[in-house]
Amino acid sequence: MRSTYSPGAVALMTTLVWVGAASRGADPAPPTRAPPARVRLVVVIVVDQFRADYLTRFESLFGADGFLRPGFARFTQAYFRHGTTSTGPGHATISTGAPPSVHGIVGNEWYRRADGVRVYCVDDEHCAPLGPESSRQTAEQRRDEGAHGSSPANLIGTTLGDQLKLATGRRARVWGVALKDRAAVLLGGKLADGAIWWDSQTGAFVSSSYYFSELPGWLAQLNEQRIADRFYGARWERCLPESIYAQYARADDAPYERGPSVHLSNTFPKVIGGEQSRSETDDSRKVVLPPDYYEALSATPFANELVFDVVRRLIEAEDLGVARGNSAADGAAPDLVVIGLSANDAVGHLFGPFSHEVLDMAVRTDRQIGEFLNWLDRRVGLEHCLVAVTADHGAGLESEYAQELRLGGGRVEPKKLIEDVEAALTQRCGPAGGGRHYVLGLKAPWLYLDSVLMVEKEIAGPEAARVAASALAHLGSIPRPGIGAAYPGDLPYLREAALADPIAACALYSAYEGRSGDVYVHLAPFWAFSTQAAEHSSANSYDRHVPILLSGPGVKPARYSQEVDVCDLAVTLAALLEIEPPVNAAGRVLNQALLETAPR
C-alpha cells in the first residue's frame, strides 16, 4: 500500500526517531554476535495491560523461573512513543517495530472516513470465522451469512514473523495464540501459518479462513475436549497470605470495582460460574453451562492457563523448534510463536492496578510464565530459544482512588463532550439536518467528524477540527476539567506542534491519514472516559511505560535503566536472528544487551 506520509512528514519523524535514539545513547554500529543457527525457536509473550512498575513493585513476590529468571536482560524504562495506548496499536507496534503512524492500526476501532462505517482493526470481509460450528460450512457460505473473519489485512508493512518467513524461504513456521483475535493476528503478521484465539461465546479456540480451510486437527481435538469447561465452579483464591496484599494494594472491595459486571465478586474467593444445569439431548446427556460463564472465565488467571495449554499443544503438534529435513538449511530455520496473555487486561479494567486482584494476577502470571519456560527448556532447550516478554500498554489509577489519594482525577462524560462539539459546529455551520450529526463518534483518544457532511456544509476539515478541538478543551472561556489538551488531527498542525510539545508528538505518532480522527483528545492525569475501574488509551506515562525482557543466544543478562523504545524490540530480535527488520521499523538495536563475539 502506498505510504500516506509526505516527504516532510517522513523527515520530521526521522528527526524525532534520531533525536530519541541519541538521547538513549545508541551505539554507532552493532557488535558481531553469536551465530543465529543456534536459535531454533523464538517466543514473544505479550502480557496485556502489564504496567512496567509491576516488575519492580512486586519483585519480592516473584519466583526465580518467571520474570526474574537469571537469563533475562531487563529493560525497566521502555515506552511507546504513541498515545493511542490500546491493544490493537500496541500489539502492532511490538510486531512491526513501528508506531501507528506507520503501521496504520490507530485503535481497536476507527471510522472509515468515506462513509462513516465503523471498522474493527482485524475485521476482514474477505474471510470468514472458522470454529467448531462454522468449520462444517464453506467459506463462501459463511460470507453469504454476513459473518466476517479476522485477518491482518489492515496492517501496513511487515512484522518480525513476516521477515523471518521471507529470510528462510518460508521454512520458518510462525504462529500466534491469544485470547483476543487482535492480539494473535497482529502479532503474527500476514505470512503467519496460523493465528488462534478464544471465542468467549462458546469456550472454543477459533481462527479464520485467512489461515485455514478448516481448523488443524489437533486444535479440533482440544475443542472437542472442551478444555475451558474444567474451570466451571473453580475458586480463584489468593495465592499468597492475605496479609501480604495489604502491603502492596489498597483495601479490597472498593466501591468502584466492577467484578459483578462480568459475574465475579469483588472479593476473594471468586467462584467461576454457578450450579451446573443439565439438559437432555437426543443421544446423550451433557452439561449446559450458563452463558455468562465464559465471560467470567476470561477475567481470571485460568484463562491464561488455557492459552498456555494451546501453545504447548501447538508446539508439540507442529514440531516447532525442532530441526526438520535432511539439509543444514532446513535445521537453520527458527520458528516463531507469539503469545498474548489477554486476561490481565480484563482484570486490570475491572479492579485497577492497585487492587488485590491485579497483584494476585501478576504473581500467578509470573508462575505461569515460569512453568511454561521450564516446559520449553525440557522440550526444546532454552539455550536454543530467544524469549521476549513485554506488554501492549499500561494503565492508570482508578479515578476514584486517585481522588482518595488527593492526586486529582475524575471521569469525563463522552456524551457531554459530543453534545458540546455538536453545538459548536451547529453554531458555526448551521443545523446538520436530516437526522444527521457532525460527530460520528469518539474512539478514544480520537474524535471523528462526518467528513461528508463537512463538504456539504462547505467547511474545510482543518477548520472544523479546530472548532471541535476548542469545544472539547473549553467550557466557554474556562478550561474543561479532565481534558489536558485537544489537538486538531490534521498532519501539518501536528508536525509543527510536535517539535515543541511531547504530547503532540505522541498524537503525531498515533495519526494515520484516512484512519485517525479529526481531534486527538488528551486526558489529564488520572482522568478516564469509561466507567470501568481503570482505563488506558492516553499519552500519559503510566499508559506508555511497559517492561521489556529478553533472553537467549547472544543476549547479555542485566538490568538496564536507560530509556528505550518498544519499537526497538522487533529490530533487536531481527538483529539477533540476522534477518532484515520489519520494513517500516523505526527502532534501533539494543546493543547494550547483546554479547560481542569473535567474527565467524
Q: What is the pLDDT of residues 203-253, one digit of tens each?
A: 999 999 999 999 999 999 999 999 999 999 999 999 999 999 999 999 898
Grid cell, residue 26, equals 545508541
Neighbours of 114 (CB within 10 A): 9
Buried b (16+ CB within 10 A) or exposed e, 290-326: eeebbbbbbbbbbbbbbbbbbbebbbeebebbeeeee
Contacts 24+ apart (CB under 8 A), 14-18: 16/81, 16/498, 16/505, 17/586
Query: Which residues have a Cβ under 8 Å from the Cβ of 225 and sit 6 or more positions away?
Result: none
Grid cell, residue 426, equals 451547529
Work out whether strand 439-443 and strand 118-120 pair parallel, antiparallel, or are unpaired.
Answer: unpaired
The list of the chain residues with pLDDT below 50 reads: 1-28, 32-37, 135-144, 275-285, 326-329, 598-600
Question: 266 and 361 in contact (C-beta within 8 Å)?
Answer: no
Q: Rg (Cα) of the chain, in Å, rounded?
A: 24
List Cα–Cα distances, 263 to 44, 236, 273, 316, 472, in angstroms.
32, 13, 8, 35, 35
SS3 of the chain: helix, strand, coil, percent, to 5:
40, 20, 45
Query: Which residues have a Cβ under 8 Å from the Cβ of 410 and sit 6 or more positions away?
Result: 399, 403, 481, 482, 526, 527
What does the H/E/C string look like for 7-38? HHHHHHHHHHHHHHHHHCCCCCCCCCCCCHHH
**Single-letter amino acid code for the residue at 376:** L
pTM: 0.91
Question: 227 and 143 in contact (C-beta within 8 Å)?
Answer: no
Question: 551 and 414 in contact (C-beta within 8 Å)?
Answer: no
Buried b (16+ CB within 10 A) or exposed e, 512-547: bbebbbbbbbbbbbbbbbbebbbbbbbbbebbbbbb
Let me know the angle formed at the C-alpha of 238 by 236 and 243, rounded to the nearest 5 degrees. 160
Structural element, H or E, at residue 69: none
Buried b (16+ CB within 10 A) or exposed e, 32-57: ebbebebbbbbbbbbbbbbbbbbbeb
Place of cell 535514539: 21
Distance CA 536, CA 188 (A): 24
Place of cell 486444535: 219
The three-class DSSP label of residue 278 is strand
Peptide bond into 557 cis (omega under 30): no
The predicted pLDDT at position 597 comes to 62
Q: Could you give phi then psi for residue 67, rounded to 5 degrees? A: -60, -30
Neighbours of 4 (CB within 10 A): 16
Burial of 70 (0-12, 13-18, 19+ CB in 10 A): exposed
Buried b (16+ CB within 10 A) or exposed e, 345-369: bbbbbbbbbbbbbbbbbbbbbbbbb
Query: Which residues have a Cβ under 8 Å from the Cβ of 67 and sit 6 or more positions away?
Result: 55, 366, 369, 389, 547, 549
Distance CA 160, CA 231 (A): 35
Peptide bond into 334 cis (omega under 30): no
Buried b (16+ CB within 10 A) or exposed e, 162-180: bbbbebbeebbbbbbbbbb
Distance CA 575, CA 133 (A): 42
The predicted pLDDT at position 140 comes to 46
Query: Which residues have a Cβ under 8 Å from the Cβ of 177 and sit 6 or more positions away?
Result: 184, 195, 196, 197, 307, 310, 311, 314, 337, 338, 339, 340
The predicted pLDDT at position 38 comes to 81
